[in-house]
Amino acid sequence: MAPNMWQQFRPVFVALLIGIIGATLTWWFAVPAPFLTGPAAFVSVAGVLGVKCHIPPILRNACFIIIGLVLGSTITPEILSAAAAWPLSLAGMCVSVALVMLAGGTMFQHVFGMDRNTALLASSPGHLSYVLSYSVDLGAGTATISVIQSMRVLLLTLAVPAAVALLTDADMTMRAPVGLALSSVSFAILAALAAGFGSVLAKVKVPAAYLIAGMIISSIGHATNTTPGSVAPMVSTAAFVVMGTLIGTRFSGVTLNTLRKAAVGGIALTLIGLGISIGAAAVISHFSGLPLIDVIIAFAPGGLETMVAMGAIVGADPAYVAIHHVGRLFFLSVFVPFALSRSGT
């Protein structure tokens, strides 16, 4: 490899190598959501220490497409049918998500002195890849958002499973999904359609174009049962490792003061999110008659996989929990740009 080419490729190679090491070690030690939090943590530390890490746009877009396909693959005819039975609960979930984002945005803007766009994106209760993609397009404080969102994800994905592990004999280690796998042909078709659709959305300046395209294309294929099955674990895992690595690259040049400030903000946002979610869950449970524990897990702004696993452990309705967390992602896809437009963006 020519020296100049190596100099250009080196930050990418180093970033991916550190990301893979981080994912491997956190997986080995059974840390929840290791393929996202591991690379994010390790590459973040490397960036703060001055190591040059970079993920090129073509790899970032491919990662977003795959994650979009993964998210869209959770939409099935069964889930769509079940969703009709929980209108009040879904509405309550949407309200709680909006309140968390607006309350967090107000806190970040007035207490931490962030600009409106950064404050709102930093307070989004979920949809990390979408939010980061959006922040890049808007020129918001991506590094600050990355730290706060990473803190939120880390706190929620570690605290809840850790509590369950202490109180039960459940295995909280991430495992490959069991069930029908998406065929190679179906995956290739969905990816190609998402890439084409994503390029169109990108040309008309739609934020997070490739992620949205992947979600829409995959949702259509799975909701109509045309392309049933989950994305191959090896592919989805690789995408999450790249996503975690991408998160980590946002920490390059971030000062320790910013890290401390964002860490405090992340803890505060997590507490606000839990308070609002539990309060909303109590109200919905009272008026709908649904079990409170089911609603709390369905409303908790944590990772979809972790919360569904939690629901299964405590005997909650897995379809109910899944549709609410999928619904949260889709609601945020609409509410995030709406909230930003109301702020004058």
What tens digit of pLDDT does each residue of 128-154 get? 777 877 787 777 777 778 778 777 765
Q: Mean pLDDT across the stretch 291-316? A: 72
Report the C-alpha gap between 23 and 293 in whole angstroms.
Answer: 31
Question: Could you tell me which residue, 248 or 312, shows the higher pLDDT?
Answer: 248
**Given this model, what pLDDT does residue 311 score?**
67
Position 170 confidence tier, pLDDT thresholds 50, 70, 90: very low
Q: What percent of the chain has pLDDT over 70?
A: 78
Average pLDDT, the chain: 80
Report the C-alpha gap between 336 and 149 in whole angstroms.
Answer: 15
Would you say 255 and 244 are in contact if contact means Cβ atoms under 8 Å apart?
no
Residue 230 pairs with which residues in a beta bridge? Answer: 181
Among 123-132, 135-144, 300-309, top mean pLDDT goes to 123-132
DSSP reduced 3-state for 114 = coil
Position 184 confidence tier, pLDDT thresholds 50, 70, 90: confident
Sign of the CA dihedral running 86, 89, 92, 94: negative
Q: Which amino acid is at 173?
A: T
Best CA proximity match to 114, nearest among 229, 282, 320, 258: 258
Position 167 confidence tier, pLDDT thresholds 50, 70, 90: very low
Whether the per-residue pLDDT at 182 is higher than 70: the answer is yes
Number of domains in the chain: 1
DSSP reduced 3-state for 230 = strand
229-268 CB burial, b ≥16 within 10 A, e <16: bbbbeebbbbbbbbbbbbbbbbbbebeeebbebbeebbeb
Report the C-alpha gap between 241 and 243 in whole angstroms.
Answer: 5
Q: What percent of the chain has pLDDT over 90?
A: 20
Whether the per-residue pLDDT at 305 is higher than 60: the answer is no
**Given this model, what pLDDT does residue 168 score?**
42
The pair phi, psi for residue 228, each rounded to 5°, is: -70, 155
Position 9 confidence tier, pLDDT thresholds 50, 70, 90: confident
**Given this model, what pLDDT does residue 6 score?**
65
pTM exceeds cut of 0.75 = no
Position 100 confidence tier, pLDDT thresholds 50, 70, 90: very high
Q: Mean pLDDT across the stretch 187-202? A: 93
Would you say 128 and 333 are in contact if contact means Cβ atoms under 8 Å apart?
no
**Given this model, what pLDDT does residue 59 score?**
93
Whether the per-residue pLDDT at 2 is higher than 60: the answer is no
Q: Name the one residue in this structure whose structure tokens are 């490739």.
A: 210
Position 160 confidence tier, pLDDT thresholds 50, 70, 90: low
Among 99-113, 232-246, 284-298, top mean pLDDT goes to 99-113
Position 51 confidence tier, pLDDT thresholds 50, 70, 90: confident
Q: Mean pLDDT across the stretch 231-251? A: 83
Whether the per-residue pLDDT at 344 is higher than 80: the answer is no
Q: What's the distance, Cα to Cα, between the start and end of the chain in Å? A: 44
**Given this model, what pLDDT does residue 90 score?**
92
**Given this model, what pLDDT does residue 247 score?**
75
Report the C-alpha gap between 252 and 49 in whole angstroms.
Answer: 8
**Given this model, what pLDDT does residue 13 score?**
93
Would you say 342 and 102 are in contact if contact means Cβ atoms under 8 Å apart?
no
**Given this model, what pLDDT does residue 172 score?**
46
Residue 339: HSE in the Cβ half-sphere, 13 Å Cα cutoff: 27
Q: Which of 64-68, 216-220, 316-320 has the least mean pLDDT?
A: 316-320
User: What is the span of the domain harbouring residue 283?
Assistant: 3-342
DSSP reduced 3-state for 53 = coil
